[in-house]
Amino acid sequence: MDREVYQKFNQSIYREQLSNGLKVQLLPMEGYHKTYAILTADFGSIDNHFIPYHQKEAITVPDGVAHFLEHKMFEKKDHDAFDLFGKLGADSNAFTSFTQTSYLFSTTSNLHENLDVLLDFVQDPYFTSETVKKEQGIIGQEIQMYEDDPSWRLYLGILGNLYPKDPMRIDIAGTVESISHITPEILMDSYRTFYQPTNMNLFLVGRLDPEETMSWIKQNQEQKIFAPAETPQRLFSLNDPTAHDVIPFRSLTMDIVRPKVMVGLRGTKQFDDGKERLHYKLAIDLLLDVLFDDTSDNYLRLYNNETLDDTFSYNFEMQRGFHFAYFSSDTDQMERFADEVIDILESADQQIEAARTRFEGIKKAELGRLIGLLDSPEAIANRYAGDLFAGASLMDEIATLETITIDDLYQVAKEFITPQGISVYQVVPQHQ
């Protein structure tokens, strides 16, 4: 078991890759009452085209398989894993993103028993035609419910503009049509390919004894027989890495009162390693704060002339294989909002220069925010993005953020902001 000490934060991470390939990380937190555990498979909604485990021909699975599989994993022949956690006093949950599926629990008691439940239910697939059919109804309703939500439609709309031929344009849960094609066989192919221990990692944070907990995990894993490891053969690649396929504008009408608009920005940079990628991500986070945070001249000007309101938000998302930013607000001036945001992005160089005196404050505020997350076991574990960022933990993120200078902002702005990467999506009230 390796131990990495973060002297500055008075914390240590214990790491080990088990003989079956599972990567385990433990971060004990002195004085805490709760433990949080999260088990992640490197498999998300965009992984819909791959060569299944021990087969030769590539298959394309229906949109929404990763999320469907997440739902089905909890259900076993004669029980539901949720109930087992409940009886042991733990809260459990799961979520699926574009590129990962995670199962988690938090508890103040019976840590090791709950760990067994987690490892056992995720490592024991059970699918029947009947339960698959029932789930198609449940998830179908969930998908329809989201369709009523204008904010969700706005987000999916901009993704459809930014990635018109790539799987990110589809709801992570798929469509009512696509999930109707899911079968137990498709679930099993996906499971065997992506739920191998080599393709998963387990992160525990909070109240725990690293030695005892690691040996408990090993004991659980050593009792099981796993098929020989085989690296998953994904066939995902962006249809057009240059982003020239971005659709510049689309608009949707819904029965709402306030119009909504989102500007999207798709990046095209490729990365050689996760450290470089992390540096880029953190620099872009700072860049967006410089341009748009609520102390910026831009924000105050647009707020005061009612181009945006308190619903304004922006975010940068970076996942395996792609990254993008978005900026949105409710506004009665949808076109003006989009024009202004695009102007600001395209004049980033001057904006950075003008923000020279604000930069250190912005960086300090962002550092403060990340340091604050050190108090949250959930945040530390959920923020961990595995190989994407070369295994960097929150403590490594903080150390990387500290090295970023205002000159880095010019550099990432140049790389990230290109005219062909920009797009606008609107959700417009019916009666306007």
347's CB contacts (< 8 A; 6+ apart) are: none
Q: Which is nearer to a second copy, 331 or 351 (CB)?
A: 331
Cα angle 106, 111, 113 (rounded to 5 degrees) comes to 115
Closest CB 351 distance from a second copy, rounded Å: 18
Judged by CB under 8 A, does residue 34 bind a second copy?
yes
Where does this chain touch a second copy (CB under 8 A) — which range of 26-34, 116-124, 179-187, 380-388?
26-34
**For residue 106, what are the CA distances in angstroms to 34, 184, 390, 410?**
7, 30, 26, 42
Which residues neighbour 260 within 8 Å (Cβ) at sequence distance 6 or greater?
150, 151, 154, 328, 329, 330, 331, 426, 427
Which range in 23-31, 53-61, 162-170, 405-413 contacts a second copy by CB under 8 A?
23-31
**333: contact with a second copy by CB under 8 A:** no
Active-site option among 57, 70, 212, 378: 70
Under the criterion CB under 8 A, does residue 133 sit at the interface with a second copy? no
Residues 411, 282: contact at Cβ < 8 Å?
A: no
- Contact region with a second copy (CB under 8 A), list: 17-25, 81-89, 242-250, 416-424: 81-89
Nearer to a second copy, 233 or 376 (CB): 376
Q: 341 Cβ partners below 8 Å, 6+ apart? A: 263, 327
SS3 label, residue 296: coil
For the residues of 79-113, what is the DSSP string, one character each? -BHHHHHHHTT-EEEEEE-SS-EEEEEEESS-HHH
Binders of a second copy in range 230-259 (CB under 8 A): 255-258
In the complex, the smallest distance separating the C-beta of residue 85 from a second copy, rounded to whole angstroms, is 10
DSSP notation for 236-254: ---S-TT-TT---EEEEEE
> By CB under 8 A, which span of 46-54, 93-101, 139-147, 383-391 interacts with a second copy?
139-147
Rounded to whole angstroms, the Cα distance separating 414 from 102 reads 34
How many residues at the interface with a second copy, by CB under 8 A?
Answer: 48
Q: Which of 4, 16, 120, 147 binds a second copy (CB under 8 A)?
A: 147
**Residues in region 265-284 near a second copy by CB under 8 A:** none
In whole angstroms, give the CA distance from residue 196 to residue 53. 9
Under the binding rule (CB under 8 A), the answer on residue 299 touching a second copy is no
Q: Are 427 and 157 in contact (CB under 8 A)?
A: yes
Q: Is 16 a catalytic residue?
A: no
Closest Cα partner for 61 from 52, 53, 73, 71? Answer: 52
Which residues on adjacent β-strands are paired with residue 266? 324
Start-end of H helices in 148-265: 150-162, 176-179, 184-194, 210-222
Q: Between residues 29 and 170, which has the closer beta carbon with respect to a second copy?
A: 29
Q: Binding residue for a second copy (CB under 8 A) from 96, 106, 190, 418?
A: 106
CB of 373 to a second copy, least distance (A): 9
Q: Is 59 in the site for a second copy (CB under 8 A)?
A: no
In whole angstroms, how close is the CB of 300 to a second copy at the nearest point?
A: 9
Q: Give the Cα separation of 221 and 18 in Å (integer).
A: 8
Q: Is 228 in the site for a second copy (CB under 8 A)?
A: no
Q: Which of residues 347-406 bind a second copy (CB under 8 A)?
A: 361, 364-365, 368-369, 371-372, 374-377
Q: Which helix (H) or strand (E) holds 70?
A: helix 65-73
Residue 301 touching a second copy (CB under 8 A): no
225 is a site residue for a second copy (CB under 8 A): no
Which range touches a second copy (CB under 8 A), out of 48-56, 102-110, 125-133, 413-421?
102-110
**Part in contact with a second copy (CB under 8 A); list of ranges 138-146, 188-196, 388-396, 418-426:** 138-146
Exposed, middle or buried: residue 271 (CB in 10 Å: 0-12, 13-18, 19+)?
middle
Q: How far is the CB of 311 from a second copy (least distance, A)?
A: 8
Could you give the dihedral angle defined by the CA atoms of residues 176, 181, 186 and 190, in that order, rounded to the nearest 10 degrees? -30
Cβ closer to a second copy: 86 or 241?
Answer: 86
Chain positions 153 to 192 lying near a second copy, rule: CB under 8 A, are: none
Told to check if 331 binds a second copy by CB under 8 A, we report no
Supply angle C-alpha 357, 363, 364, rounded to 5. Answer: 100
Amino acid at 312: F
| Residue 330: CB minimum distance to a second copy, A | 7
Residues interacting with a second copy, by CB under 8 A? 9-10, 29-34, 82-83, 86-87, 89-91, 106-109, 138, 141-142, 144-145, 147-148, 206, 255-258, 293-295, 309-310, 330, 361, 364-365, 368-369, 371-372, 374-377
Active site residues: 70
